Amino acid sequence: SPPQGYYTRRGGVGESGDFVTSPEMSQVFGELIGVWYVSEWMAAGKPGAFQLVELGPGRGSLTHDILRVFKQLASLLSKCDISIHLVEVSPRLSEVQAQMLTGGQVQSSPRDDPVYMKGISKTGIPISWYRDIQDVPQGYSFYLAHEFFDALPIHKFQRTDKGWREVLVDEDPEVPDQLRFVLAPSATPATQNFIQPEETREHVEVCPEAGVLIQRLAHRLEKDGGAALIADYGHDGTKTDTFRGFRNHKPHDVLKAPGTADLTADVDFSYLRKMTQGRTATLGPIKQREFLKNMGIDLRLQVLLQNSQDTATQKQLRNSYDMLMNPKKMGDCFNFFALLPHHRLTYPDQKDNTQPRAPLVPVAGFGELSLK
Ligand code: SAH
């Protein structure tokens, strides 16, 4: 990430920043995700240790709520060695995360140490900070990326009579300090490398960094086991022009004042699926409102409403539920997508039917919750 990039400079998550995310709106969001990981841990036969690895934790709200679930389920998890690993490029946001998760009790490391900060959560779990996923130790891990992939840079392409051409950003010769989009006169290396041969769209956005990350996650899950949960706004390979900017909660021209606005593009889940290269199974994308419903959000809301003392809190709970679930708000455009080892969904040898086998446990969230 360039030093003059948005996240290393401004990084405006939170109410005073450029955007507010689901975990910042409602504690229920992170709690249900925490339950999802515990459910996968149980389905895997309760391994003796796991790492929770979050990519781009923002203000740290999501991990904070997940840690509360781990604490509430302490008797279940008591023999499990849990550690938290945060991948964050923004020095400013890493400090916000440290404050949120440890109360500021952290130690910084020498500059060349891949673990640049360490601390212990308020609930007693070790937390380490990294700039790159490759520095996170290998081992059985749960990965989490919420509103992370949409923040990574994209390439834009357009189909022409002469074949695919990359859409580039250039300085406008007529207007000083004004950027403009131009079509590359000939094929660029990106055109050759990033367009799928079977592509049918006229315009496409490709995020090669997302592809590389998914390859790394798929390798790790194939080798060490675990699960990855990716939640973001996006589509399954159908949309074309989604690149846009936000500043102070308002739409912002992507070509104006570079480095000062949050630039984003919808996540193309079909591309992520392709980039697993079959190393893992995938589930989804499924709409956020369906995932959260399957995870039992309605029941959780009822409990919180019953436990809340005043009508202002109840109103806030209902409003944030509506924000997360309403198809016109975040319910439909946000999606959940999971990477799982193949053996989680199918037996390695399907032909051998001689041995009676316990049925595979369904993956929570991606189907209706069965309360058996
Ligand atoms: N997940 C959080 C915030 C998402 S904002 C939430 O749901 O509230 C995107 C986050 O990704 C920020 O923390 C940003 O600093 C971080 N980020 C952006 N690019 C990154 C990169 N290349 N590597 C690691 N973190 C990155």
Question: Tokens 């380490």 map to which residue?
Answer: 128
Task: Find, among 208, 85, 216, 225, the residue nearest to 149 by Cα.
Answer: 208
Report whether residue 331 contacts ligand 1, using a CB cutoff of 6 Å: no
Question: By the 8 A CB rule, do 52 and 144 touch?
Answer: yes
CB atoms within 10 A of CB 138: 10
Residue with tokens 């039917």: 353
Question: Which atom belonging to ligand 1 lies closest to the Cα atom of 13?
Answer: 5
Instruction: Give residue 10's pLDDT.
Output: 59
Integer CA distances (angstroms), 81 to 42, 49, 52, in order: 14, 4, 11
| Ligand 1 atom with minimal separation from the 90 CA | 15
Instruction: Report pLDDT for 298.
Output: 96
Same domain for 226 and 252? yes
How far, in Å, CA of 9 to CA of 318, rounded?
35
pLDDT at 15: 59
Q: Are 34 and 99 in a shared domain? A: yes
**In this structure, are 295 and 196 located in the same domain?**
no
**Whether residue 171 is found in the same domain as residue 43:** no
Q: How far apart are CA 141 and CA 148, in angstroms?
A: 18
- CA 90 / ligand 1 centre spacing (Å): 8
Are 110 and 239 contained in the same domain?
yes
Question: Ligand 1 within 6 A of 150 CB?
Answer: no
Verify that 298 and 269 share a domain, yes or no: yes
Does 360 reside within a domain? no
Domain that holds residue 188: 155-204
Residue 98 within a domain: yes
Q: Using 70 as the pLDDT threshold, list the residues of the chain that sit under it.
A: 1-4, 8-17, 349-353, 369-372
What are the C-alpha distances in Å from 228 to residues 52, 84, 142, 144, 280?
A: 10, 14, 6, 6, 10
Please indicate, yes or no, whether residues 335 and 317 belong to a single structural domain of this protein: yes
21 lines ligand 1 (CB under 6 A): yes
23 lines ligand 1 (CB under 6 A): yes
Regarding the beta carbon of 6 and ligand 1, being less than 6 Å apart is answered no
Q: What are residue 251's DSSP bridge partners?
A: 246
Q: Hey, what are 7's tokens?
A: 């996240």
